[in-house]
Chain A
Amino acid sequence: MNSTTPALVELRKISKRYGELLANDGIDLAIAPGEIHALLGENGAGKSTLVKILYGVIEPTEGQILWQGRPVTISSPVEARELGIGMVFQHFSLFDELTVAENIAVALPATWTLSAVRARLGDISRAYGLSLEPDRAVWTLSAGERQRIEIVRCLLQNPNLLILDEPTSVLTPQESEHLFITLEKLAADGCAILYISHKLEEVRRLCRNATILRAGRVTATLDPRERSAREIAALMVGNEIGEVKSSGVHEGQAEILSVQNLSVPPAGLHGQALIDINLNARAGEVIGIAGVAGNGQSELFAALSGETTVESASAVIINGKPCGSFEIDQRRKLGAAFVPEERLGHAAAPTHRLSENILVSHHAVGAVSKSGFVVLGAARKLARTIIKGFDVRSPGEDAQARKLSGGNLQKFVIGREIIRKPKLLIVNQPTWGVDAGAARLIRQALVDLARAGSAIVVISQDLDELFEIADRLAVIHHGRLSPVKPTPEWTKEAIGLEMLGVGHDREAGHAA
């Protein structure tokens, strides 16, 4: 922290205890006006707890908050906003069925009418380049637009401190750059910004000060630009991060997955159609599919996994068997395994035990059921093996799935599939919202599985991840897939342009 500027907000010895768990342990943090301060740490390091305390959502067990030098108690978000604290949540705090203007008005003091919000929206849009249509319903908007609502909601109250929780996790590189420019403009106007992220490169691009948390404690306060990304990551996870290596070239290997001219009509109003998808994956190979959320990733995953079936059997061929019309279990029996995007509710049943969640994907292919009856002992044993083998930090195999942090549950659901040693693994957003340590473990597990001779398709929004593990890459945009090219032939810029659909003329089928 710059010692010559008085702090806008200062946290002193903040602690938060949940039963046995000390989520925050004596945290000190100070932010000056106009400063962009990074808060770095793994999932479960206590970042969310700390900012929720600062935003008045939860109460600290101990400690003091000084606002402009005087002690304050922030017991609700309303009080936080009155002080001038605004917050952009990671999982947006938006209401899908309401309009943009309604979403903004509901978070503002009662003096704001809908028409006042509409009027000011124009001013803010012009000043910070955040354009929004006030009468659109939120469910029709992209993630980038939704985030803009959150930011505008804060800006309308002229905040002194803006908190952003993982703001770029859903944005394209271009949208992220746009956000950074907005944030720098705000900081130049004197607004302090607390920026939570685990993407080190963007923290180094944006922040001069960073506080690093590990297991609820501050491990360092430093200038991220003076240290290497590797050094900072080590402070976050407590040990040097090893680099994951992709496994090389696989010409001539057996083709495990072949997708030919796969087209799927859109499901319902908000669905995205898949148009003429062609893709193959050979044994030992990791195929990466990049793209901005909502461009057909979920639909592609559903079509590959059998959640959506197609009439043409040969549109999807697994292990040489045309199975476009096969349901998910029939595909599993061919040696395929699937990890969908949403951990809770899709990959795992939230209120069921981990051992019971084994059944979600093993009921037809594993040894956890016998003539229609569940063999609970086998499921529990398998759960214990996964917990151990994939470093799942949980109270045990009988813990409810929803009690696990995102990273740990993700390790569990990926481990659940990998332990079957599938010939083909399709995984959608393997490390979304997962901390650096867990993400590394997951990526390593994927690469190891490929090395052992399986074919893997990774659908991800995290370009760094895809560049790290994929042997070949393609981009999905508006339901169309770009040509699949070896990863070294792609640049990040080229991918970014493909993600925006301006890379090349796909209608004519020319590569850029």
Chain B
Amino acid sequence: MTTFEAILLTIVTASTPFLIAALGELVAERSGVLNLGLEGMMAMGAACSFAAAVTFDSSLIGAGAGALAGALMAALFALVVLGFAANQVGSGLALTILGLGLSGLIGAPFVGAKRDPIGHITIPGLSELPVVGRLFFAQDLFVYGSLVLTLAVAFFLHRTRAGLMLRSIGENHTSAHALGLPVLRVRLLAVLFGGACAGLAGAYLSLVYTRFWSPGMIAGRGWIALALVVFAAWRPGWALVGAYIFGAASVLQLHAQAAQFGLPSQVLSAVPYAATILVLLLLSLRHGRAIGAPGSLGSPFVPER
């Protein structure tokens, strides 16, 4: 395996949590709910999955616990913004702070523990192809899962009736309610799905990417995933492309540091975040507005009765 191939492999690993978290948030936002608590839900997912995986010595149980933790955090968020129609931005920020704190508490007994790498599934034949073989056909379950999830979300949104309902509700909840669509129920499910995905993304970080838990290990990835949804113009296919671009940026800055690039390491660590701001800036310069933003995004819905 050449250095080049090794770098490509780490890019896949770095990109997968971005993709999973962004897909979940994308579904929630298409239903009209802006959940800024992504970072907090990912932290909870990372802490709970690591705790469960160490306790039961099973990465699978760990992943399940991570998704569950994310979904529970999302349920709390849903109670506040759907049940009580509270401000989504404020509630989401509060959820991030809560998640970061709570995850530190849950993860504290497990600081210093280390997990073994999880198994890779090698597809015979295909994995022997040059370059792309090891890159795409000898990966762990999460990587395959995230690619399948991208297809599934795209299919769900654009080819199923439930997806059409979800998009309609996100586009205009007043019209949707007038037509009798269950606005709050669909939003609840979308938010829970978003939370489970965020939890899973967090689980991937602690179980596969670092294989240990430490507070602050999410390190702004939740915010990048949020920006990614805008970058993707709320489309799953573009979320895949964007996740790999941001993943590449975050890996290449490490290699640039290792190669003594001549720039201070702090500047290089800032590259993925600066890239996020730059991409958002370019997008809004080109379109003048957030193209494809669901019409009701972020506005609370109170049914008239």
Could you list which residues of chain A lie within 8 angstroms of chain B, going by C-beta atoms?
Answer: 56-59, 76-78, 80-81, 87, 89, 92-98, 102, 105-107, 110, 268
A59–B305 Cα gap in the complex (Å)?
A: 6
Residue of B with least CB distance to A76? B180
A73 to B: closest C-beta gap in Å: 14
B161-188 interface code vs A (CB 8 A; 1 in, 0 out): 1001101100110111111110000000
A81–B176 Cα gap in the complex (Å)?
A: 14
Task: Collect the chain A residues with CB atoms within 8 Å of residue B179's CB.
Answer: 77, 93, 106-107
User: Can you list 25 contacts pairing A with B, beta carbon distance less than 8 Å?
Assistant: A56-B180, A57-B178, A57-B304, A76-B180, A77-B180, A93-B172, A93-B174, A93-B178, A94-B172, A94-B175, A95-B168, A95-B175, A95-B176, A95-B295, A97-B167, A97-B292, A97-B295, A102-B167, A105-B164, A106-B161, A106-B164, A106-B176, A106-B181, A107-B179, A268-B288
Indicate if the CB atoms of A105 and B178 lie closer than 8 Å.
Answer: no
Task: Collect the chain A residues with CB atoms within 8 Å of residue B180's CB.
Answer: 56, 76-78, 80-81, 107
Query: CB within 8 A of A110: which of B161, B171, B177?
Result: B161
Residue of A with least CB distance to B177? A57
Q: Which of B45-65 contact A (CB under 8 A)?
A: none
A89–B181 Cα gap in the complex (Å)?
A: 15
Interface-central residue, B161, B172, B178, B179, by most chain A CB under 10 Å = B179
B73 to A: closest C-beta gap in Å: 30
Could you list which residues of chain B lie within 8 angstroms of chain A, going by C-beta atoms?
Answer: 161, 164-165, 167-168, 171-172, 174-181, 288, 292, 294-295, 304-305
Query: CB within 8 A of B165: which of A76, A80, A96, A106?
Result: A106
Query: CB within 8 A of A95: which of B161, B172, B288, B304?
Result: B172
Query: CB within 8 A of A77: which of B178, B295, B305?
Result: B178
Indicate if the CB atoms of A58 and B304 lie closer than 8 Å.
Answer: yes
Task: Collect the chain B residues with CB atoms within 8 Å of residue A59's CB.
Answer: 305
A72 to B: closest C-beta gap in Å: 16
Residue of B with least CB distance to A92? B175
A465–B172 Cα gap in the complex (Å)?
A: 32
A97–B30 Cα gap in the complex (Å)?
A: 12
Q: A78-B180, A102-B164 are in contact. Are A95 and B305 (CB under 8 A)?
A: no
Task: Collect the chain A residues with CB atoms within 8 Å of residue B178's CB.
Answer: 57, 77, 87, 89, 93
Q: A58-B305, A106-B181 are in contact. Are A98 and B175 (CB under 8 A)?
A: no
Task: Collect the chain A residues with CB atoms within 8 Å of residue B172's CB.
Answer: 93-96
Task: Collect the chain B residues with CB atoms within 8 Å of residue A105's CB.
Answer: 161, 164
Interface contact tally, CB-CB below 8 A: 61
Q: A93-B179, A106-B179 are in contact. List 12 more A-B contacts (CB 8 A).
A: A56-B180, A59-B305, A77-B178, A77-B180, A93-B176, A95-B167, A95-B168, A95-B172, A96-B171, A105-B164, A106-B168, A268-B288
Residue of B with least CB distance to A111? B161
A77–B175 Cα gap in the complex (Å)?
A: 12
B237 to A: closest C-beta gap in Å: 17
Secondary structure class of chain A's binding surface, majority of residues: loop
A172–B171 Cα gap in the complex (Å)?
A: 28
Residue of A with least CB distance to B292? A97
Interface-central residue, B171, B177, B295, by most chain A CB under 10 Å = B171
A95–B164 Cα gap in the complex (Å)?
A: 11
Task: Collect the chain A residues with CB atoms within 8 Å of residue B171's CB.
Answer: 95-98
A106–B175 Cα gap in the complex (Å)?
A: 11
Task: Collect the chain B residues with CB atoms within 8 Å of residue A76's CB.
Answer: 180
A93–B295 Cα gap in the complex (Å)?
A: 13
Task: Collect the chain B residues with CB atoms within 8 Å of residue A89's CB.
Answer: 175, 178
A56–B179 Cα gap in the complex (Å)?
A: 10
A106–B179 Cα gap in the complex (Å)?
A: 9
Indicate if the CB atoms of A96 and B161 lie closer than 8 Å.
Answer: no
Task: Collect the chain A residues with CB atoms within 8 Å of residue B167's CB.
Answer: 95, 97-98, 102
Interface-central residue, A56, A93, A96, A102, by most chain B CB under 10 Å = A93
Indicate if the CB atoms of B175 and A93 lie closer than 8 Å.
Answer: yes
What 3 pairs across the A-B complex have the smallest Cβ distances?
A: A77-B180, A93-B175, A78-B180
Indicate if the CB atoms of B295 and A96 lie closer than 8 Å.
Answer: yes
Task: Collect the chain A residues with CB atoms within 8 Å of residue B168's CB.
Answer: 95, 98, 102, 106
A397–B264 Cα gap in the complex (Å)?
A: 60
A110–B175 Cα gap in the complex (Å)?
A: 18
A94–B165 Cα gap in the complex (Å)?
A: 12
A98–B295 Cα gap in the complex (Å)?
A: 11
Task: Collect the chain A residues with CB atoms within 8 Å of residue B305's CB.
Answer: 58-59
A59–B175 Cα gap in the complex (Å)?
A: 18
Task: Collect the chain A residues with CB atoms within 8 Å of residue B304's CB.
Answer: 57-58
A106–B186 Cα gap in the complex (Å)?
A: 14
Task: Collect the chain A residues with CB atoms within 8 Å of residue B164's CB.
Answer: 98, 102, 105-106
Residue of B with least CB distance to A79? B180
Residue of A with least CB distance to B164? A106
Task: Collect the chain A residues with CB atoms within 8 Å of residue B181's CB.
Answer: 106
B210 to A: closest C-beta gap in Å: 40
Task: Collect the chain B residues with CB atoms within 8 Å of residue A87's CB.
Answer: 178
Task: Collect the chain A residues with CB atoms within 8 Å of residue B177's CB.
Answer: 57
A92–B172 Cα gap in the complex (Å)?
A: 11
A336 to B: closest C-beta gap in Å: 28
A166 to B: closest C-beta gap in Å: 15
Residue of B with least CB distance to A49? B304
Residue of B with least CB distance to A87? B178
A489–B52 Cα gap in the complex (Å)?
A: 85
A87–B177 Cα gap in the complex (Å)?
A: 13
B157 to A: closest C-beta gap in Å: 11
A159 to B: closest C-beta gap in Å: 14
Task: Collect the chain B residues with CB atoms within 8 Å of residue A110's CB.
Answer: 161
A87–B180 Cα gap in the complex (Å)?
A: 12
Residue of B with least CB distance to A77? B180
A147 to B: closest C-beta gap in Å: 14
Task: Collect the chain B residues with CB atoms within 8 Å of residue A77's CB.
Answer: 178-180
A80–B179 Cα gap in the complex (Å)?
A: 10
A98–B165 Cα gap in the complex (Å)?
A: 11
A59–B171 Cα gap in the complex (Å)?
A: 25
Residue of B with least CB distance to A55? B178
Task: Collect the chain B residues with CB atoms within 8 Å of residue A80's CB.
Answer: 180
Residue of B with least CB distance to A57? B178
A76–B288 Cα gap in the complex (Å)?
A: 39
A76–B182 Cα gap in the complex (Å)?
A: 10
Task: Collect the chain A residues with CB atoms within 8 Å of residue B174's CB.
Answer: 93
A80–B178 Cα gap in the complex (Å)?
A: 11
A48–B180 Cα gap in the complex (Å)?
A: 17
A134 to B: closest C-beta gap in Å: 14
Residue of A with least CB distance to B294? A97
A76–B177 Cα gap in the complex (Å)?
A: 9
Task: Collect the chain B residues with CB atoms within 8 Å of residue A96's CB.
Answer: 171-172, 295
Residue of B with least CB distance to A59? B305
A462–B178 Cα gap in the complex (Å)?
A: 27
A347 to B: closest C-beta gap in Å: 20
A127 to B: closest C-beta gap in Å: 23
A96–B291 Cα gap in the complex (Å)?
A: 13
Task: Collect the chain A residues with CB atoms within 8 Å of residue B288's CB.
Answer: 268
